[in-house]
């Protein structure tokens, strides 16, 4: 046990007075506090199993100490996060990085930690040691039918693992594309990919969703076969009602208007899930909200507006996941920061005065519209988010407890200083 419940209570007691002062101030400022708190308590963000170790770059990987050595230890790490913030109650697995060899044991362990299994992720962007055919020139788009079949079979196998764990969605991110003009025929690549995805789609259980993730570049640098939201939407539409687009914040060309993309996908009922992270240049996978917090707010603003317009349940109707990985931070501390940023931004989006905004838009009152959004964005909602955590048994200050209880030191002691988690 790396963290006892009473340690959280002990820390909370120390900062309770300060918290109450801040909370009563924000409660007096905001009209529907209880409603917002309930939404915050319900909102859960899935932690990716590949973000628990220190990420590398193509130059080097500087592994941190105490990294999880197995899926069991990864679940243990996410359990720690969830105990601290009560908002990380799900895990997203990448196969074959995290194969659950004993599904019922893994499922039980996750349940003990209060976790459920969110989207399963397949991997046809790397060759595995025992793999027969190579993905060097793509997987589902490949000119060779045998390679495509191998990629299809892998995805179907991932679905099977997911069924055993109680997951209900599959995320397909393909690195397929080309690095040089003339390397492939765009139309044939699309057709092959569509046919391959159709076979995977046919293997989805009734209740499942398929998320088609797009990415503009990397590892292919000339064309990507699922390169943007238009292409993803095209696949998802052709596939059928169980297929949706997944938006990863780092997968756009510079300055793309992601909030507008989100609004239109929601309008079409084709937004399925989200990968949160932040970036300055490309798919940097930095901590959520660390670079462009206002953009994140504008995205959440569209999410809340669009989901409410369709009567959707904020907590359960979309797949909320983090997709980040770090070279210089403790991955658990980083994930605490990311979840906190998501909760803060979600709370701010809930504060937007929708009625006034609609009226301002109707009047073409541009100044008032901007004021309404910025009023919400500039409100310090940290005490609201902390109160939601407190009410659900979490820590007022998760990071402070993590450090105060020397959790990383304990993990290093238990697992060793030189452990390397599976992942990129």
Closest CB 286 distance from ligand RM4, rounded Å: 13
8 A C-beta contact, residue 167 and residue 206: no
The entry of Mn ion, ligand RM4, none that residue 39 binds, CB within 5 to 8 Å by partner kind: none
Q: In angstroms, what is the minimal distance from the CB of 50 to ligand RM4?
A: 6
173 near ligand RM4, judged by CB under 6 A: yes
Binding of Mn ion by 19 (CB under 5 A) = no
275 binds ligand RM4 (CB under 6 A): yes
Could you give the angle at which helices 331-351 and 33-42 cross, rounded to 10 degrees?
Answer: 140
- Structure-token match 């074959």, residue found: 96
Instruction: Kindly report the number of other CB atoms within 10 A of residue 311's CB atom.
Output: 7
Lay out the site mask for Mn ion across 312-351 (x = CB under 5 A, - = otherwise).
-----------x----------------------------
Nearest residue (CB) to ligand RM4, 292 versus 354: 292
Helix axes 407-415, 71-85, angle to 10 degrees: 170
Through-space distance between the first and last CA atoms of the chain, rounded to whole angstroms: 28
Site for ligand RM4 contains 248 (CB under 6 A): yes
Measured from the CB atom, the residue of 39 and 215 that comes closer to ligand RM4 is: 215
Please report the beta strands in 81-221, taking only residues with DSSP state E, as ranges in sequence order.
90-94, 116-121, 169-173, 177-178, 209-213
Q: How big is the site for Mn ion, counted in residues (CB under 5 A)?
A: 4
When CB distances are held under 5 to 8 angstroms depending on the partner's kind, the choice from Mn ion, ligand RM4, none that residue 121 binds is: ligand RM4
Q: Which residues, 283 to 302, sit near Mn ion by CB under 5 A?
A: 283
Using CA atoms, how far apart are residues 329 and 333, in angstroms rounded to an integer? 7
Site for ligand RM4 in 26-85 (CB under 6 A): none
Question: Is 77 one of the binding residues for Mn ion (CB under 5 A)?
Answer: no
Does residue 118 belong to the site contacting Mn ion (CB under 5 A)? no
Residues 89-108 that bind ligand RM4 (CB under 6 A): 94
Q: Does 213 help bind ligand RM4 (rule: CB under 6 A)?
A: yes
**Based on CB atoms, which residue is closest to Mn ion, 233 or 396?**
233
Place of tokens 């409410």: 308
Helix (H, G, I), strand (E, B) or coil at 177: strand
Q: List, in order, residues 6 or more apart from 175 with CB less than 8 Å away.
A: 124, 125, 135, 138, 139, 215, 218, 219, 220, 224
List all residues 6 or more positions away from 186 whose beta carbon is below 8 Å from its beta carbon.
Answer: 223
Closest approach of ligand RM4 to the CB of residue 251, in Å = 7
The span from the CA of 304 to the CA of 357, in Å, is: 13
Nearest approach, Cβ of residue 394 and Mn ion (Å):
26
Selection from Mn ion, ligand RM4, none that 86 binds (CB < 5 to 8 A by kind) is: none
CA distance 194 to 225: 10
3-state helix, strand, coil in the chain (%, to 5): 50, 10, 40
Nearer to ligand RM4 by Cβ, of 359 and 424: the residue is 424
Alpha carbons within 13 A on the beta-carbon side of 304: 23
Q: How far is the CB of 169 from ligand RM4 (least distance, A)?
A: 13
In 3D space, the residue among 328, 254, 279, 247 whose CA is nearest the CA of residue 57 turns out to be 328
Stretch touching Mn ion by CB under 5 A, among 120-128, 142-150, 240-248, 286-294: 240-248
Buried b (16+ CB within 10 A) or exposed e, 198-223: ebbbebbeeebbbbbbbbbbeebeeb
Out of 323, 333, 334, 405, which residue is the one contacting ligand RM4 (CB under 6 A)? 323
Residue 277 binding target from Mn ion, ligand RM4, none, CB below 5 to 8 Å by type: none
From the CB of 142, what's the least distance to Mn ion, in Å?
A: 21
* Contacts (Cβ under 8 Å, ≥6 apart) of 57: 327
Contact indicator for 89, 126 with CB cutoff of 8 Å: no
- Pick between residue 25 and residue 221 the one whose CB is nearest to ligand RM4: 221
From candidates 98, 168, 278, 283, binder to ligand RM4 by CB under 6 A: 283
Residue 424 found at the interface with ligand RM4 (CB under 6 A):
yes
Which residue's CB atom is positioned nearest to ligand RM4? Answer: 173
- Among 168, 248, 334, 405, contact with Mn ion (rule: CB under 5 A): 248
Binding interface with Mn ion (CB under 5 A): 248, 275, 283, 323
**Which spans of this chain sit near ligand RM4 (rule: CB under 6 A)?**
94, 121, 173, 213, 215, 248, 275, 283, 323, 424
């Amino acid at each position: 046990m790396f963290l006892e419940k009473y340690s959280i209570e002990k820390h909370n007691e120390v900062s309770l007075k300060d918290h109450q002062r801040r909370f009563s101030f924000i409660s007096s400022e905001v009209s529907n506090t209880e409603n917002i708190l309930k939404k915050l308590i319900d909102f859960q963000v899935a932690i990716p199993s590949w973000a628990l170790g220190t990420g590398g770059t193509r130059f080097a990987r500087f592994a941190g100490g105490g990294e999880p050595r197995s899926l069991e230890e990864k679940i243990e790490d996410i359990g720690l996060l969830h105990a601290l913030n009560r908002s990380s109650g799900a895990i997203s697995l990448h196969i074959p990085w995290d194969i659950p060899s004993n599904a019922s044991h893994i499922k039980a362990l996750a349940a003990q930690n209060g976790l459920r299994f969110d989207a399963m992720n397949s991997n046809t962007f790397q060759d595995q040691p025992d793999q027969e055919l190579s993905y060097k020139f793509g997987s589902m788009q490949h000119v060779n039918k045998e390679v495509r079949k191998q990629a299809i079979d892998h995805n179907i196998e991932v679905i099977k693992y997911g069924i055993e764990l109680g997951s209900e969605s599959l995320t397909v991110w393909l690195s397929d594309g080309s690095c040089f003009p003339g390397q492939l025929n765009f139309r044939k690549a699309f057709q092959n990919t569509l046919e391959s995805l159709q076979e995977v789609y046919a293997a989805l259980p009734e209740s499942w969703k398929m998320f088609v993730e797009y990415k503009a570049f990397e590892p292919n640098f000339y064309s990507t076969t699922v390169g943007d939201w238009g292409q993803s939407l095209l696949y998802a539409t052709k596939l059928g009602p169980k297929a949706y687009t997944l938006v990863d914040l780092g997968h756009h060309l510079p300055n793309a208007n992601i909030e507008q993309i989100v609004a239109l996908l929601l309008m079409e009922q084709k937004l399925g899930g989200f990968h949160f992270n932040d970036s300055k240049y490309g798919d940097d996978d930095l901590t959520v909200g660390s670079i462009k917090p206002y953009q994140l707010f504008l995205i959440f603003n569209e999410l809340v507006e669009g989901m409410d317009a369709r009567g959707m349940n904020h907590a359960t109707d979309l797949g909320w996941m983090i997709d980040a990985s770090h070279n210089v931070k403790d991955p658990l501390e980083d994930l605490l920061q990311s979840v906190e940023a998501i909760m803060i931004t979600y709370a701010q989006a809930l504060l937007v005065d929708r009625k006034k905004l609609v009226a301002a838009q109707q009047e073409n009152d541009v100044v008032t519209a901007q004021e309404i959004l910025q009023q919400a964005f500039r409100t310090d909602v940290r005490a609201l988010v902390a109160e939601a955590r407190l009410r659900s048994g979490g820590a007022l200050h998760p990071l402070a407890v993590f450090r105060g209880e020397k959790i990383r030191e304990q993990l290093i002691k238990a697992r060793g200083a030189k452990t390397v988690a599976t992942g990129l």
